[in-house]
């Protein structure tokens, strides 16, 4: 008997997708705040100011969340008997956000 069994979505895949989206929104908001701080401060952001340090720590934290989402998505791709849609979306979104963030950091370092 060959029964067709409906596959369930992977819990890790759903987690990867949700964390990658939430972290991407957080990262976007943090870069907007950094841009506002840069434009509102005469001479640019003071890199030693406590607010700037906290902002940088939040950006690093959001980047680490994206890395966790990427790992969860990759683990999902190796699970058997589970749908992989959310895992694939999590890998794509988190990978894109990581690459864009690192690219913006490199661009910022090269400009100033």
C-alpha distances in Å from residue 14, one per residue of 18, 49, 87, 107: 6, 38, 7, 32
10 φ/ψ angles, rounded to the nearest 5 degrees: -75, 135
- The β-bridge partners of 83 are 9
pLDDT tens string 25-42 = 999 999 999 989 988 888
pLDDT tens string 82-101 = 999 999 999 999 999 999 99
pLDDT tens string 40-71 = 888 878 888 899 999 999 999 999 999 999 99
Question: Which structure tokens are listed for 37?
Answer: 């701080």
Contact assessment for residue 52 and residue 37, using Cβ atoms and an 8 Å cutoff: yes
pLDDT for 45:
83
pTM as predicted: 0.86
């Amino acid at each position: 008997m060959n029964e067709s069994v409906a596959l369930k979505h992977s819990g890790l895949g759903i987690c990867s997708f949700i964390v990658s989206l939430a972290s991407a929104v957080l990262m976007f908001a943090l870069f907007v705040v950094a841009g506002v701080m840069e434009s509102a401060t005469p001479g640019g952001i003071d890199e030693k100011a406590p607010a700037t340090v906290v902002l940088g720590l939040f950006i690093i934290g959001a980047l680490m969340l994206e890395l966790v989402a990427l790992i969860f998505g990759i683990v999902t791709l190796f699970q058997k008997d589970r749908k992989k849609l959310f895992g694939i979306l999590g890998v794509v979104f988190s990978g894109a956000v990581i690459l864009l963030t690192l690219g913006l950091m490199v661009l910022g370092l090269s400009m100033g």
